[in-house]
Structure 1
Amino acid sequence: MSTTAIADHALLSDCHSSALVDKEGSVEWLTFPRFDSPSIMGRLLGENAGHWSIRPVGDFTTTRRYVDETLVLETTFDTGGGTVVLTDALAMGPHNEGHAIGRNAPHILLRSLSCTAGEVEVEVSYAPRPEYGLVVPLLSQVPGGVTARGGAEWLVLTTPVDLHLDTGTGTGRVRIREGETLRFALHRSTLSETPARVHSESELIEMTQRTLEAWRSWSSLHQTYDGPWRDLVHISGRVLQSLTYQPSGAIVAAATTSLPEAVGGERNWDYRYSWVRDASLTMEALWVAACPDEATDFFSFMATAAATGVGPEKALQIMFGIGGEHDLTERTLDHLDGWRGSSPVRAGNGAWNQQQVDVYGELLGAAHRLSDQLAGLDEDTRRFLVALADAAAVRWREPDQGIWEVRGDPQHFLYSKVMCWVALDRAIELADVIGDRSRVEEWKRTRDEISEAVIRDGWSDSAGAFTQHFGTDALDASNLMLPIVGFLPATDPRVLATIDAIEERLTDDRGLVYRYHTEEGVDGLAGEEGTFLLCTFWLAQALAMAGRLDRARAVFEGAAKYVNDVGLLAEEVDPETGELLGNFPQAFSHIGLVNAAWAISEAERQAKAA
């Protein structure tokens, strides 16, 4: 099983699929041709599930960085006798300013190793294992490379190093001297390619340069944020963009499956799908971090995926496959023992058929934030947005599984009610954009009714705060969103009391925020979980909006220090060890970072102007 820290990995993406590379130069996770495809390399979740390592022989020290304004990874190995730099990327296709990044990506993993000082002996270990490690492929030598056939895959490795092949694994060693570069590539081939096509050195140089230029062009055009923590916000913006599936406009919640919320626990989920909530909030965060030009594609994807109908009589499905698939039936991969023995490992996600009424508010909230980019909406998408508001106006009365997708009994979660209020509030303001003013008065009446119910039934005198759901005293960090979405002002005494209660009773010794206390919650699962980075950034954002700027900065920096060496965040932090936990990198955490940084920047600007 893998024991490598989650934080020791770095992301590669071509906006179609993803890879994770660890600090020792090993690809520990790779999916082709989609984020949600079965892994080709998955040692992250099982020792025999595949890897591809390029590293010095013997002892070395490592430093890493993303090349400026890109997601091209550089890992520098210093052996004492020499220094080599490993450059890794998922290749991008040609990029034009008018096109989204990732268009025509060739599905090629590029790796090059350059010696910058002295000389270094290097070892290569190549062990592809398609279908989450179930397949041990047949490896064969071809001029300039190695082919791998097995299951549904025919992979072609371009390698300048001669590999010894044995039982599905190729290994080899080579000495590299100052000024020399070795270039590698891995791609999926087709049976029609005979003989299997390896890539020339000039082609690999061109693809690497094209990938650098694509990321830099996108970053220079889109990333205009210039406030506090600029570098972290820009990295987060690139991460959020990298989780976009370019062909459809879908956005995945994370690049991985089954990285646990507690070591050895059962809270291990597949996040390689497009949650309505996560994707909508990602689009909102990209408004700050990257000025998205994919807004129309995203809403068109959602309208198409939900084309079977949404409205008062039919709930919106909460998540979809990245191609618009509805059935995401969950299964366990019992041959994998999981990261640090955390099982089960899952593919698919059983939450796909849950009832969650907050999704209407997240989608319409994102549409409102991005309305400038939605001038050309087609009629189907306009009708879809109207149907969301109509559904919220009816379904807000129903219990649901809530934002945290509890697997216990449905409840009247306060956050869900508030987000139905948001759905109607934003639909009223968007009436001209979505082309329907006939429902505005009805939407206003229902919005006011929701507000009255939340204030009447969601507040607990004994808790001194707004609570997780009606009829409980349990706290929930999602209630930090009340001021953020504009339901109540951040300076309202009840909001301030809720902020104080969460800060006092729902944080750990590091000042990081839990979603809720699992022993008080209704999630229907055994065991505990780590503190939630998104919730901690929510606290920073709410504090900023309340004018508590020094405290907001302290909370933000307390969470932001958990970024790894290349600026990435997982979902949670282990309250005992401080290690990152959960799927990685996690869109929610980077969303929280972006929005909190922006809120603090705006609050400080307003304070100076006052």
Structure 2
Amino acid sequence: MSTTPIAEYALLSDRHSAALVSRGGSVDWLCFPRFDSPAVFARLLDEEAGHWSMRPSAPCRVTRRYLDRTMVLETTFRTGAGTVVLTDVLLVGADNSGHRLGAGAPHVLARRLSCTEGEVTVEVEYRPRPEFGLITPLLSEVDGGVTSRGGAEWLVLTSPVRLVVGEDDARGTVRLRAGDTWYFALHRSTLETPARVWGQEELAAGVDATVAAWRSWSDLHQTYDGPWRDLVHHSGRVLQALSFQPSGAIVAAATTSLPEDVGGERNWDYRYAWVRDASLTMEALWVAACPDEASDFFAFLTTAAPSLAKDKALQIMFGVGGEHDLTERTLPHLHGWRGSRPVRVGNGAWQQRQIDVYGELLTAAFRLADQLTGIDEATRRFLIACADTAAERWREQDQGIWEVRGAPRHFLYSKLMCWAALDRAVALADQLRAEDRVESWRRTREEIRDTVLRQGWSDQAGAFTQYFGSTELDASTLMMPLVGFLPADDPRVLATIDAIAERLTDDQGLVYRYRAEGGVDGLAGEEGTFLLCTFWLAQALAMTGQVGRARAAFERAAAYRNDVGLLAEEVDPATGELLGNFPQAFSHIGLVNAAWAINQAEHRTPTRALP
């Protein structure tokens, strides 16, 4: 099994695929040619499932960073005899104009070794294992590298030094002196571009072009200038890195089956496009980077969800190419991260009913209205259908935002977001040319509001609760002021915020989604605190004018970013380790929105006395 801490990893992306690189210089996760493709390297989930490592043979000190305004990783190894810098990058290709960053990605993972002082010997070990470690491919030496064939994969490794091909791997050493620079690369064959050995100058140009492309995108799009500016901009780049350029889809995370509970069964595949997560990502990019991908995103959903008008239900998630069938299965040959099994691919939640998605989608459309002035007829009809569906289905029970695998319930958050769907639809009616529906949408919106206020509040809990008739707290109720359902200074909102801050947090002040031991989610075991929920608390506190408490909550959550600024889904309350799929879009969305809310609060008169 794999034991490397999740925080040890850094993300690479070409907006098609994702790789994770450890502090030790090992690529332990790589999915070619898409985020949701089978992994070529999966040591993240099992020691025997493939990797590509480059590391000095001598003991060394390690530091790393992303190059300024990029997602290009630089790892510096300092030995007693010298220093070598490893630069890792998924090449984005030549066509990077406008929002087309990654459009010409050649499906190449490039690695540059540069010796900056002294002399260093670096050991290279290449062990591809296609299909999540199921296949041991045939490796062959060729001029300038090594070929790998097995299953559906044809890979070519470029190496400027000879690697000795063994029974199931290729190994070699590189001796570098100050001033030496060598390039390595892994190229995946496609129908359009057969894999090949790349030249040194060609790789140098590709790395430089990728650095320039990320910097150009950042300079063009990132204008936020409030508190935690660098963190917000970096989170914006992470969210951009989790977007699938060919379709406009946005994945929830780059990985599958990193657990919410070490050794437990809460291990899910997040390499897909959730309507909810992607909509919230688009909203966060409105703050962190001008989201000129808005039209692509809505076009993706309009194409991916043609069944909405037919059966009045929007599927909650899709493959990054718009695929509907995401049938879940387990990979029994993998032992899982720290023995957390089963390892899953696919996600059974694709068949769930979650009626909140209409609210997130229309809220994103409302926020991005300036980018959607020229929406086509299909997108206009799709957004109208989303509002009509929310109006029709809001009374239904569902699985809720947390995708519980227990019995459906009348979750408050789901009703809240149906209200938000209709509220935003009314505001967008002129742009959608739906003036004839406004009166009906308003009536239903008010009916939802009255029902939530009547059935969602618990005198016993002294707060709004998880589902109608419940006394259980749920962090998703923090969204009530965030979407404008109630004013932030409403006594019921203030009481709910305080109840969550006091009774739904761990000893460090991090917020749980809910108390898993209640059995509502149909799963055994516990889970960690949820970083998104802690950022929600910060955002809600800022809206009440409690800026001091908001800043403290923000700092508590942001402190769990790793050394290169990445956040996972959860934090282990016992150890403080990162848990869950990584990096997690939800967590970076929360950081961006909380920083924005605090910035706004600091520039207006508070509605409640500061502590």
Q: TM-score range with shorter-chain normalisation? A: over 0.9
**Would you say the 8 A contact 2:325–2:350 is kept in 1?**
yes
- How much has 1:308 moved relative to structure 2? 2.2
1:89-118 per-position Cα deviation (integer Å, ceiling 9, x unaligned): 000112444242111111100101100011
Pair 1:213 & 2:212 matched: yes
Post-superposition Cα deviations, 1:423-482, rounded to whole Å, max 9, x if no partner, equal: 000000001111211100000000000000000000000000000000110000000000
Aligned to 2:589: 591
CA distance in 2, matches of 1:193, 1:506: 52
8 A contact 1:136–1:167 mirrored in 2: no
| Superposition pairs of residues 31-110 of structure 1, within 5 angstroms | 31-110=31-110
Residues 187 and 196, structure 2, Cα contact 8 Å, conserved in 1: no
The code of the aligned residue for 2:490 comes to D
> In structure 2, what residue type is equivalent to 1:184?
F
Distance, in Å, in 2 between the alignment partners of 1:246 and 1:448 is 39
How far residue 47 of structure 1 moved from its aligned partner, in angstroms, is: 1.2
Distance 1:191 1:288, change over 3 A: closer
**TM-aligned CA deviation for residue 2 of structure 1:** 1.1
Give the drift of 1:77: 0.3
| Structure-1 residue corresponding to 2:114 | 114
The C-alpha deviation readout for 1:348-392, integer Å capped at 9, x for no partner, is 000001000000000000000000000111101100000000000
Q: Which amino acid aligns with 2:442?
A: K
| Offset from partner CA, 1:50-79 (integer Å, 9 cap, x none) | 000000002111000000000000000011
Give the Å deviation of 1:128: 0.5
User: 1:158-557 to 2 correspondence within 5 Å?
Assistant: 158-189=158-189, 197-310=196-309, 313-557=311-555
Structure 1 Cα separation of the partners of residues 443 and 70 of structure 2: 48
* 1:287 aligned counterpart, secondary structure: helix
Match of 1:58, SS? coil
Q: Distance in 2 between matches of 1:218 and 1:130?
A: 33
Kindly state the Cα deviation for residue 197 of structure 1 after the two structures are TM-superposed: 2.5
The one-letter code matched in structure 1 to 2:314 is L
The 5 Å alignment of 1:557-576 reads: 557-576=555-574
Moved more, 360-369 or 166-175: 166-175
Q: 1:77 to 1:57 in 2, by over 3 A?
A: same
Q: Distance in 1 between matches of 2:568 and 2:309?
A: 33
Q: What amino acid does structure 1 have at the position aligned with 2:300?
A: F
1:314 Cα shift? 2.1
1:156 and 1:97 map into 2 onto residues whose CA distance is 29
Conserved? CA contact 1:97–1:217, under 8 Å: no
Name whichever of 447-456 and 431-440 sits farther off.
Answer: 431-440
| 8 Å Cα contact 2:429/2:438 also seen in 1 | yes
Is the partner of 1:139 in helix, strand or coil? strand
- In the aligned structure 1, how far is the partner of 2:96 from the partner of 2:353? 41
Query: Partners in 2 of 1:554 and 1:300 — Cα distance?
Result: 39
Cα 1:314/1:608, change in 2 over 3 Å: closer
Contact 2:544 2:607 in 1 (8 A): no
> Structure 1 pair 519/99, CA: closer, same or farther in 2 (3 Å)?
closer
Aligned to 2:132: 132
Any conservation in 2 of the 1:91–1:211 contact (CA below 8 Å)?
A: yes
- Alignment-derived partner of residue 18 in structure 1: 18
Counterpart of 1:384 in 2: which secondary structure?
helix
- Secondary structure of the structure 1 residue equivalent to 2:124: strand
Judge conservation of contact 1:512–1:536 (CA < 8 Å) in 2: yes
DSSP 3-state at the match of 2:210? helix
Does the 8 Å CA contact 1:154/1:191 hold for their aligned counterparts? Answer: no
Q: 1:64 to 1:456 in 2, by over 3 A?
A: same
SS of the residue corresponding to residue 44 of structure 2 reads coil
The superposition leaves residues 300-338 of structure 1 with CA deviations (integer Å, 9 ceiling, x where unpaired) of 100110012337x42110001110100000000000000
Greater Cα shift, 485-494 or 600-609: 600-609
Which of these residues, 577, 580, 585, is aligned with residue 579 of structure 1?
A: 577
2: CA distance, partners of 1:6 / 1:22: 9
Q: What whole-Å deviation, never above 9, does each CA across 1:240-270 have from its counterpart, x for those lacking one?
A: 0011000000000000000000110100000
In 1: Cα distance, 2:391 partner to 2:192 partner = 54
Q: Counterpart amino acid of 1:274?
A: A
Contact 2:568-2:581 at 8 Å conserved across structures: yes
Check 1:193–1:482 CA distance in 2 against 1; reply closer, same or farther (3 A cut).
closer
Structure 1 Cα separation of the partners of residues 249 and 347 of structure 2: 16
Q: CA deviation at 1:191?
A: 8.4
Q: What secondary structure sits across from 2:342 in the alignment?
A: coil
Q: Is the 8 A contact 1:474 1:521 kept in 2?
A: no
Work out the CA distance in 2 between the residues paired with 1:341 and 1:381.
45
Distance in 1 (alpha carbons) for counterparts of 2:423 and 2:523: 34
Contact map agreement 1:261 1:267 (CA 8 A) in 2: yes
**Which amino acid counterpart does residue 143 of structure 1 have in structure 2?**
D
Give the direction of change, closer, same or farther, for the CA distance of 1:521–1:230 in structure 2 (3 Å limit).
farther
Other structure's SS at 1:135 match: coil
CA distance in 1, matches of 2:605, 2:294: 32
Secondary structure at the counterpart of residue 114 of structure 2: strand
Aligned 8 A contact 2:96 2:103 in 1: no
Distance 1:192 1:446, change over 3 A: closer
Structure 1 runs of 4+ aligned residues shifted over 4 Å read: 190-194
- More deviation, 4-13/168-177: 168-177
Query: What do the CA deviations read for 1:154-193 (whole angstroms, capped 9, x no partner)?
Result: 1000001211111220011121111001110101125898
